[in-house]
């Protein structure tokens, strides 16, 4: 498990990180918690020639009340998201989902921004923030821009971020007391979900995000439409896979994934309503 | 305990393991921790094809890279080997074994087969240079399916002309045709096919090797993460043509093996050969992905089993047909694994002489298989215990009741089975009764009545498994009858130092079992000293030159007994010295609590400490007696040891998702007298988890082209603590009559019993839905599919 040779530079600020990534070009990668990138490098599936370490850009680690939303710095560790009293009060679904990422070691090292920017459809937080209608803030050489979570994910490990852009903040609307549920189905506790469902519901309004049901995290809009139209949780859940395009792997056939998505969506909606 | 009177009460105590502080604090040194100045690092280029002709190997670019000392293809090293890679178990006269060298020459035969290697001044430089070796391959069609292999549609190895390695039969009939007649006359019969999936042993410590040459003297020291330093020494000497007396093998701290380190591996031979060639130390540490590909796999069988029974459900005949998956080549004991189970397909049940076993083993283009915790016996136990449940369903009686009707009765022990093997002791009903009490068997059956109703979202199931662990390998003569290439004895030396501290030298090779703790307890009990006064030396052929190492649950029932016997010899000698000093007849002396006393004269006594010092000074020894207190024993056991027991598993199956939740797991194991029940519990816990992992989690998956799909621990699902239930252990104690300690092995029992208990529980939960079997591993998807198939729905 020896990665290919690479150079290492450490950025002291977001601006410096962006300047460095621009300087080194396509072969450079940001290194935050390293819990997705480093394993890929050890298997030589990723061979960046330069790592720009942003792990010590401490002013990007925060959780702040932004009025109608909570703002989370991109370098906030999963464990801090999980344990945040602010999130527990205003966005409990996200805090709970963060507690299901990997294992405690991973949660102490891995960052929310790293997880989202990695754009792995099997990760818990992309689908969760998608369900919550989050907005991401990216900073590049030309300043900052906001990207809706719904527009961010473009394919396996592919996001709307430009190569010289860096995710700096995640803005998650307050849930306003909505019911919620996070259903993570896997074979071992520390694994990626075979299928996961993040859901919230407040009256006839709901949001449902699916983990590992396509090349991107999936917003189950048809479920939300059915609930808005007065359907029961069980009936609405039948539409869970309408926007999905799952693949088979060692853990699940396509048919099983579709079935699981429906079952878990129903359970999530019932739990959120209950 | 059935011990001598010389008891200090050490045996049977739950002493903490003396090994653990060093292991837990990182003080223990594993092979890759050893500082070896000037060592060159080996890296191995492995075939990306399951079967491919090697047309050319161009090492020039790699050899020119910084830090690279040398690059070799298989052909470059052809003169390094005195013989091919060893297989020590030619199970039949006509067994076919393809020639196999540490690096493939001409053709690679599995993904991971070594094709070339690099020596470099750092592990990084060695790894980088692998990418610069240019190999031209001609990919050939790979054989992955066992029945396809059997057909010889594609023959993997031209030199042997067939994929069949051997066929081994064990047919035992009172009179010719008895098995056929029994099936013709049977009131009930069942037939089933079970697939033993391939498993990856995944020891915590990967393999690691370091070979240190002494260029002028010719001596060679081989450090290896091995469970067989003694066997490795003999085999390395033979394979490389190194005089055995010039080779020393050391197994430093070794982090688990489960059989996977019971072998002679290409990398061990490469390190020694290249150290010899270059005059420099050569070291190698396996990566986890290399381990998944190039360390042996376990299991890999197709089992067809048939049972015949009379109207009471009593077995009248057993017929078994196996196809064994050898993988691409035969490793050290690969072909023998099915034989280790061949005698056990009637389980713990009475069977007339009506037994028909046949195994045909085939080559495939996958990683070689070999012994993996239980080796043959988990497979056999799985087949008979699953089939017994199927038979119970056929008859319509409770599976536990069916087992009770067939148990070998306690009064029949020692019991000569129809195979001719003699089971030393057993009390199956007692173990089953205890397990049933612990899990509340009757209560569970009642709960099932109310819970498992049509449409139930969660169904409750209970699984039973009873077993024998034929272990303590083994009487040498029995091994001879199976064509095994070594004996089954174990050696021990017990040495009392001048200050009454005791050194024990053992030929066992612990790699996590806790031998230092257990052996010190045996000596303490025998010699009347504290366990803290006993040091246990092992796993270095310069210190412990004789031994047959650790595997097959043999260490206590062979090696531990050898130690007790050596203690007896020391006590006999000490008694002569004490008698001489006390001016008494040796026959009048009693030894207990570390003191010799004249019978009837309690004031005339001499402690062992004083005897030890007399033996050391030799100032006043009986005429003709040699100084010092030391004795050596080599013990060849008269029989296997036969631990047995009953495991029960309670599961709840989510019928919507197929998820299996193990609610409770009860293991009742009888391993005779227990030296240290804490260690016994640890072995049972670990074994149960490993067997449960086969039932629910683990499988080495290959695609049709022979690519391993589970090459990392992200895909190969070794369960963690959070994924397994709490395990409740119970024990009955039925001492073995064949050794003075009354002990039996326990290392593999958990793995043998647990797999069928779990699957039986799942099938029991789903029987009301028409499910009759669930393949392993019973993943949620697999269970969901089984339910759907039984319900005639989508798959």
* A198 and chain B in contact, CB less than 8 A: no
* A263 and chain B in contact, CB less than 8 A: yes
Contact (CB, 8 A) for B271 and B211: yes
Residue with the two structure tokens 């087992």? B403
In which residue ranges of chain A is CATH 3.30.465.10 found? Answer: 58-173
Residue with the two structure tokens 């792990």? A55
Q: Which chain A residues touch B717 with a CB distance below 8 Å?
A: 187-188, 191
Distance, in angstroms, between B692 CA and closest chain A CA? 13
Q: Is B524 exposed, middle or buried (0-12, 13-18, 19+ CB in 10 A)?
A: buried
A71 vs A265: CA distance, rounded Å: 27
Give the DSSP letter string of B453-469.
-TT-SEEEEEEEEEEE-
Is the Cβ pair A185, B127 closer than 8 Å? no
Q: Which domains does chain B have, with CATH numbers?
A: 20-27+489-635 (3.30.365.10), 34-140+204-256+261-294 (3.90.1170.50), 298-473+639-790 (3.30.365.10)
Q: Which chain B residues touch A122 with a CB distance below 8 Å?
A: none
Q: Which chain A residues touch B698 with a CB distance below 8 Å?
A: none
Nearest CA in chain A to B697: A187
Q: What is the pLDDT of residue A25?
A: 87
* B709 and chain A in contact, CB less than 8 A: yes
Nearest to B331 by CA among B12, B162, B98: B98
Residue with the two structure tokens 């917003």? A219
Q: What is the pLDDT of residue B217?
A: 87
* A65 and chain B in contact, CB less than 8 A: no
A·B CB contacts under 8 A = 55
B618 vs A90: CA distance, rounded Å: 85
Structure tokens at B231: 């066997």
Nearest to A13 by CA among A50, A55, A76: A55
* B781 and chain A in contact, CB less than 8 A: yes
Contact (CB, 8 A) for B198 and B369: yes
Q: What is the mean pLDDT of residues A219-248?
A: 97
Crossing angle of helices B608-617/B561-582, nearest 10°?
Answer: 80
Distance, in angstroms, between A208 CA and closest chain B CA? 20
Q: Which chain B residues touch A1 with a CB distance below 8 Å?
A: 287-289
Is the Cβ pair A250, B715 closer than 8 Å? yes
B754 vs B467: CA distance, rounded Å: 10
For chain B, the C-alpha Rg in angstroms (whole number) is: 28
Q: What is the mean pLDDT of residues A230-239?
A: 97
Q: What is the pLDDT of residue A26?
A: 84
Q: Is B532 exposed, middle or buried (0-12, 13-18, 19+ CB in 10 A)?
A: exposed
Partner residue opposite A188 with nearest CB, options B127, B656, B717: B717
Nearest CA in chain B to A195: B657
A80 vs A75: CA distance, rounded Å: 10
Q: Which chain A residues touch B67 with a CB distance below 8 Å?
A: none
Tell how strand A158-159 and strand A153-155 pair up.
Answer: antiparallel
* B67 and chain A in contact, CB less than 8 A: no
Tell which CATH classification among 3.30.43.10, 1.10.287.3510, 3.40.47.10, 3.40.50.300 matches the domain A7-53.
3.30.43.10
Contact (CB, 8 A) for A127 and A134: no
Nearest CA in chain A to B696: A187
Pick out chain B residues at pLDDT < 70.
1-8, 793-795
* A45 and chain B in contact, CB less than 8 A: no
Q: What is the pLDDT of residue B6?
A: 43
Q: What is the pLDDT of residue A193?
A: 97
Other C-beta atoms within 10 Å of B730: how many?
18
Is the Cβ pair A191, B717 closer than 8 Å? yes
Structure tokens at A271: 């739990």
Q: What are phi and psi of B456, to 5 degrees?
A: -60, 130
Structure tokens at B362: 């085939």
Partner residue opposite B657 with nearest CB, options A4, A253, A260: A260
ipTM over 0.90: yes
Other C-beta atoms within 10 Å of B60: how many?
10
Tell which CATH classification among 3.40.50.300, 3.40.50.10540, 3.30.465.10, 3.30.420.40 matches the domain A58-173.
3.30.465.10
Other C-beta atoms within 10 Å of B622: how many?
12
Distance, in angstroms, between A234 CA and closest chain B CA? 13
Contact (CB, 8 A) for B656 and B457: yes
Is the Cβ pair A187, B123 closer than 8 Å? no
Q: What is the pLDDT of residue B474?
A: 84
* B592 and chain A in contact, CB less than 8 A: no
Is the Cβ pair B657, A4 closer than 8 Å? no
Is the Cβ pair B697, A188 closer than 8 Å? yes
Is the Cβ pair A263, B123 closer than 8 Å? no
Q: Which chain B residues touch A2 with a CB distance below 8 Å?
A: 123-124, 127-128, 287
Q: How confident is the model at residue A274 (pLDDT cuts 50, 70, 90)?
A: confident
Distance, in angstroms, between A247 CA and closest chain B CA? 14
A55 vs A109: CA distance, rounded Å: 9
Contact (CB, 8 A) for B11 and B3: yes
Q: What is the pLDDT of residue B392?
A: 98
* B714 and chain A in contact, CB less than 8 A: yes
Optimal mutation site among A5, A42, A188, A270, interface B, most CBs of chain B within 10 A: A188
What is the second-level CATH architecture of the domain A181-273?
Answer: 2-Layer Sandwich (3.30)
H or E, element range at A89: helix A85-90
Give the DSSP letter string of B424-455.
----HHHHHHHHHHHHTHHHHHHHHHHHS-TT
Is the Cβ pair B123, A260 closer than 8 Å? no
Q: Which chain B residues touch A251 with a CB distance below 8 Å?
A: 779, 781
Q: What is the pLDDT of residue B472?
A: 87
* B779 and chain A in contact, CB less than 8 A: yes
Q: What is the pLDDT of residue B473?
A: 82
Q: Work out the end-to-end distance of chain B between its first and last CA atoms, rounded to an integer number of angstroms.
A: 56
| Spatial CB neighbours of B200, under 8 Å, sequence gap ≥ 6 | B291, B292, B295, B297, B298, B698, B700, B710, B716
Distance, in angstroms, between A198 CA and closest chain B CA? 18
Residue with the two structure tokens 């993996």? B372
Give the tens place of pLDDT for each residue, B610-654. 999 999 999 999 999 999 999 999 999 999 999 999 999 999 999
Q: Which chain B residues touch A250 with a CB distance below 8 Å?
A: 701, 709-710, 715
| HEC profile of B220-248 | EEEEECCCCHHHHHHHHHHHHCCCHHHEE
Distance, in angstroms, between A147 CA and closest chain B CA? 32
Nearest to B457 by CA among B112, B89, B96, B787: B787
Nearest CA in chain A to B723: A188
Structure tokens at B789: 């198939």
Q: Which chain B residues touch A191 with a CB distance below 8 Å?
A: 714, 717
Q: What is the mean pLDDT of residues A253-268?
A: 98
Q: Which chain B residues touch A252 with a CB distance below 8 Å?
A: 781
H or E, element range at A53: strand A50-53
Nearest to B368 by CA among B412, B331, B343, B394: B331
């Amino acid at each position: 498990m020896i990665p290919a040779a690479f150079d290492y530079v450490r950025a002291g600020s977001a601006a410096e990180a962006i300047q460095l990534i621009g300087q080194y070009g396509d072969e450079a990668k940001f290194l935050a918690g390293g819990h997705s990138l480093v394993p890929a490098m050890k298997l030589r599936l990723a061979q960046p020639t330069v790592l720009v370490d942003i792990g010590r850009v401490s002013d990007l680690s925060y959780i702040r009340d932004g009025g109608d939303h909570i703002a989370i710095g991109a370098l906030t560790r999963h464990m801090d998201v999980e344990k945040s009293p602010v999130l527990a009060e205003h966005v409990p679904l996200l805090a709970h989902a963060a507690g299901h990422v990997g294992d405690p070691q991973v949660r102490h090292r891995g960052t929310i921004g790293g997880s989202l920017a990695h754009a792995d459809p099997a990760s818990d937080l992309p689908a969760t923030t998608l369900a919550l209608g989050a907005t991401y803030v990216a900073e590049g050489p030309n300043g900052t821009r906001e990207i809706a979570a719904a527009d961010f994910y473009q394919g396996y490990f592919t996001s709307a971020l430009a190569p010289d852009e860096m995710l700096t903040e995640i803005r998650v609307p307050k849930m306003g007391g909505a019911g919620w549920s996070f259903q993570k189905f896997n074979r071992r506790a520390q694994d990626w979900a075979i299928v996961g469902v993040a859901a919230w519901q407040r009256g006839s309004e709901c949001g449902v995000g699916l983990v590992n049901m396509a090349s991107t995290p999936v917003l189950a809009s048809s479920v939300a439409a059915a609930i808005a139209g007065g359907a029961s949780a069980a009936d609405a859940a039948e539409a869970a896979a309408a926007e999905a395009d799952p693949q088979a792997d060692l853990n699940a056939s396509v048919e099983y994934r579709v079935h699981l998505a429906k079952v878990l969506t129903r359970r999530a909606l019932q739990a959120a309503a209950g | 305990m059935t011990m001598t009177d010389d008891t200090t009460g050490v045996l049977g105590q739950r002493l903490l393991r003396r090994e653990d502080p060093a292991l837990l604090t990182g003080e223990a040194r594993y092979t890759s921790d050893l500082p070896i100045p000037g060592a060159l690092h080996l890296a191995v280029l492995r075939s990306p094809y399951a079967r491919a002709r090697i047309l050319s190997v161009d090492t020039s670019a790699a050899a020119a890279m910084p830090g690279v000392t040398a690059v070799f293809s298989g052909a470059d090293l052809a003169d390094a080997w005195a013989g091919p890679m060893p297989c020590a178990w030619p199970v039949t006269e006509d067994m076919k074994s393809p020639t196999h060298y540490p690096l493939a020459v001409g053709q690679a035969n599995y993904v991971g087969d070594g094709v070339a290697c690099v020596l470099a001044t750092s592990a990084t430089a060695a790894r980088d240079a692998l990418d610069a070796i240019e190999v031209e391959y001609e990919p050939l069609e790979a054989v992955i399916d066992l029945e396809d292999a059997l057909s010889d549609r594609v023959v993997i190895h031209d030199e042997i002309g067939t994929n069949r390695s051997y066929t081994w039969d064990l047919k035992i009939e009172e009179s010719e045709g008895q098995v056929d007649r029994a099936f013709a006359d049977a009131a009930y019969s069942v037939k089933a096919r079970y697939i033993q999936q391939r498993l990856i042993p995944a020891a915590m410590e990967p393999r690691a090797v370091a070979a240190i040459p002494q260029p002028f003297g010719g001596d060679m020291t081989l450090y290896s993460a091995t469970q067989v330093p003694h066997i490795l020494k003999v085999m390395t000497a033979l394979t490389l043509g190194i005089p055995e007396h010039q080779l020393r093998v050391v197994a430093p701290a070794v982090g688990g093996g489960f059989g996977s380190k019971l072998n002679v591996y290409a990398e061990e031979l490469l390190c020694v050969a290249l150290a010899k060639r270059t005059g420099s130390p050569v070291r190698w540490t396996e990566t986890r992905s290399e381990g998944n590909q190039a360390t042996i796999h376990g299991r890999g069988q197709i089992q067809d089993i048939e049972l015949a029974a009379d109207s009471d459900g009593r077995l009248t005949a057993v017929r078994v047909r196996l196809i064994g998956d050898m993988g691409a080549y035969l490793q050290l004991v690969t072909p023998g694994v099915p034989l280790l189970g061949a005698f056990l397909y009637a389980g713990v049940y009475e069977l007339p002489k009506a037994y028909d076993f046949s195994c045909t083993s085939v080559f495939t283009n996958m990683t070689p298989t070999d012994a993996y915790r239980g080796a043959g016996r988990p497979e056999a136990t799985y087949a008979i215990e699953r089939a017994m449940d199927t038979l119970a369903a056929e008859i319509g009686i409770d599976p536990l009741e069916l087992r009770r009707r067939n148990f070998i009765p306690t009064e029949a022990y020692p019991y000569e089975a129809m195979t001719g093997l003699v089971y030393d002791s057993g009390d199956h009903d007692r173990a089953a009764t205890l397990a049933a009490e612990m899990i509340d068997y009757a209560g569970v059956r009642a709960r099932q009545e109310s819970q498992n109703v049509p449409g139930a979202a969660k169904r409750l199931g209970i699984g039973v498994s009873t077993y024998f662990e034929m272990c303590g390998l083994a009487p040498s003569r029995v091994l001879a009858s199976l064509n095994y290439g070594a004996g089954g004895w174990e050696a021990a030396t017990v040495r009392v130092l001048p200050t009454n501290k005791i050194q024990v030298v053992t030929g066992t090779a612990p790699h996590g079992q806790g031998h230092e703790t257990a052996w010190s307890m045996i000596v303490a009990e025998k010699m009347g000293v504290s366990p803290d006064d006993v040091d246990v030396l092992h796993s270095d052929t310069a210190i412990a030159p004789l031994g047959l190492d650790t595997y097959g649950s043999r260490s206590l029932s062979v090696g531990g007994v050898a130690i007790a016997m050596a203690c007896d010899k020391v006590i006999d000698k000490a008694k002569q010295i004490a008698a001489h000093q006390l001016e008494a007849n040796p026959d009048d002396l009693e030894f207990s609590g570390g003191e010799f006393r004249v019978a009837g004269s309690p004031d005339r006594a001499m402690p062992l400490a004083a005897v030890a010092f007399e033996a050391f000074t030799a100032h006043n020894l009986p005429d003709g007696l040699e100084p010092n207190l030391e004795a050596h024993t080599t013990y060849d056991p008269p029989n296997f040891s036969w631990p047995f027991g009953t495991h029960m598993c309670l599961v709840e199956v989510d019928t919507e998702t197929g998820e299996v939740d193990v609610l409770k797991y009860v293991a009742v194991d009888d391993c005779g007298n227990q030296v240290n029940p804490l260690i016994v519990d640890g072995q049972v816990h670990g074994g149960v988890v490993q067997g449960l992992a086969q039932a629910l989690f683990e499988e080495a998956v290959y695609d049709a082209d022979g690519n391993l799909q589970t090459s990392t621990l992200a895909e190969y699902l070794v369960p963690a603590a959070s994924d397994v239930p709490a395990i409740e252990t119970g024990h009955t104690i039925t001492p073995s009559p064949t050794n003075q300690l009354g002990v039996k092995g326990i290392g593999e029992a958990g793995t043998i019993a647990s797999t069928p208990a779990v699957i039986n529980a799942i099938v029991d939960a789903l029987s009301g839905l028409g499910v009759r079997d669930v393949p392993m591993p019973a993943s949620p998807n697999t269970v969901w599919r089984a339910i759907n198939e039984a319900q005639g729905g989508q798959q």
